[in-house]
Amino acid sequence: MYNSKSTFNITKKYINSKMKLVNNKIKLKIILYSIFIIFIDQISKFIVLNTLGFYKSKNIIPNLLNFTLVKNKGAAFSILSNSTSLLTIISILASLLLITIILKSPPSSYWNLIGTSYLLGGTIGNGIDRLFNGYVLDFIDFVPINFPIFNVADISINIAIICFIIDLLKSKSKSNIKY
């Protein structure tokens, strides 16, 4: 069978172009998922702010869930309270770093893709609050437990962590397979 070098180069170019197309679709998916998360986060904060106002509580599910809108000038669990400038810079840098990672080398697994989307969406969602308000709006308040009030962006960041752990465990279990 005759196989020329030019046929090999054409096949290689075709495969490379297909791979680039797949990578671009993955990048677009991550960005679109992140935008959706940002949208849900910002809309939920806007609705709760305009219907409830600050420091008032509305019972949503009796003995389980209240919406209580508060200003959080810190990070998770109010760490670094009143360090809004530092947290704003960290949010911007983290978002830019995540976008760079997505554009340079998109995630290679499903769980990493989902985790990256949620992390970017949550980081930008809270970053928008810090940048424009000087604080993050938190409103989800679990009644039966003494847990900090949080928001959709915080949930997204926690989902991202869970996705990264699942990805790590799955990749570790694949590497432990013996042939």
- Which of the residues are catalytic? 138, 154
The enclosing H or E element of 69 equals strand 65-72
Taking the C-alpha atoms of residue 114 and residue 167, their distance in angstroms, rounded to an integer, is 10
Q: Which amino acid is at 14?
A: Y
The enclosing H or E element of 58 equals strand 57-61
Q: Which two tokens stand for residue 157?
A: 């960041």
- 3 state DSSP class of 59: strand
Q: Which residues, 6+ apart, have CB-to-CB distance to 103 below 8 Å?
A: 27
